[in-house]
Structure 1
C-alpha cells in the first residue's frame, strides 16, 4: 500500500519550537489521516460521570465534532504512551490517575489509530490546555451517541461501549 506524506497546510496554531516529525497528513487509498506515525486517543471512563469527550476546535479535522483527547504519535512512541501524553496535553488527564483496560486499533495499512480505554482511579477535573479544544465534558454512557461525534469515533463507539460494559463499566 502506498501512502504520501504532506506537511500541514492548516492545523493548530503553531507552538514555539520545532514541529514534531509526526505532525503531518498521510494520504493513501483509504483516505487522508493526521499523524505520520499513526495517532491515538484515550477514552476516559469515570464510573460516576461517564466518558470524557472533547469538543474539537473548528480548524481541526472534522472540527466542531466531539471526540476523544488524542493526536499524532511521535516517532518511535508506543500508542498507549502517546495517547496518555496527548490526553494530558489536551485535557489534563493524569496518566497515573487512570488504569488502562484495553486498546482497540483501526489499521488501514499505512496509518493506524489506537483507542486506549481507561478507567478513572481518582476523580479529576479536566482542563483545556491547548487550542485544540472548544470544551471538555463528562457525558453519561447512554447519551454519548446524542452528541455530534467525530465520524471515526461514532463508528467505533458501539463496540467500544459494549467492551467497556463487559469490563465492568
Structure 2
C-alpha cells in the first residue's frame, strides 16, 4: 500500500488533549509466550522514561493495523509479516483516536531499538508489566485490560 501524507504532528482532540498523530495513532500489543514487547521511551520524548508498546502516528489513508506493523518494524526491525494479528481496541478522544492492535508471535525474538525513540526493548512477563512506570495512555489501557480479564475469569 502506498502511504499518504505523513501523520507526524501534534493535534488537539475535542476533549482538549494534545496528541501526536494528525490522523490518529496506533501501537502493537505483541505477545510471545506470555511476554509482552515493551519499549522504554527515550528521556526527551513525550512521557519519556516510561514503558509502552511500539507505535506511532498514522499516515493519511493508513489503517491502524498497517500503522502498528509499520511503526513496530521501524522501531524494532521486526519483520511486519511475522506477527499474527488479532483484535484491536480503540481509545477514542473525539476527533483523535489511538488503536491498540493485538498480535502474537510463537516465541520472543531478540530486538534492538532502531530509531532513537526508545532506549531499550524488553520482553516483559505479563505478570510484571504493571510493575513498570508505564506511559499514561498505555497504563490506562493496561488497567482496562486487567479489569476485563478479571470480570471474564470471575471470582477466584
After TM superposition, the score normalised by the length of structure 1 is 0.79
TM-superposed CA distance for 1:47, in Å, is 1.2
Unaligned 5+ segments in structure 2 are none
The structure 1 residue matched to 2:9, chosen from 15, 24, 35, is: 24
Q: Which moved more, 1:25-34 or 1:50-59?
A: 25-34
Q: Does 1:53 align with 2:38?
A: yes
Corresponding residue number in structure 2 for 1:130: 115
The structure 1 residue matched to 2:73, chosen from 70, 85, 88, is: 88
1:93-104 correspondence runs (5 A): 93-104=78-89
Q: Which has the higher contact order (CA 8 A, sep 6+)?
A: 2
Secondary structure class of the residue paired with 2:85: strand
Corresponding residue number in structure 1 for 2:22: 36
Hey, what's the Cα distance between the residues in 2 that align with 1:56 and 1:123? 20
- Number of matched residues? 145
Considering only aligned residues, what root-mean-square deviation do their CA atoms show, in Å?
1.9
Corresponding residue number in structure 1 for 2:56: 71
Hey, what's the Cα distance between the residues in 1 that align with 2:145 and 2:85? 14
After TM superposition, the score normalised by the length of structure 2 is 0.86
TM-superposed CA distance for 1:21, in Å, is 3.2
Unaligned 5+ segments in structure 1 are 1-19
Secondary structure class of the residue paired with 2:23: coil
TM-superposed CA distance for 1:98, in Å, is 1.0
Q: Does 1:62 align with 2:40?
A: no
TM-superposed CA distance for 1:130, in Å, is 0.7
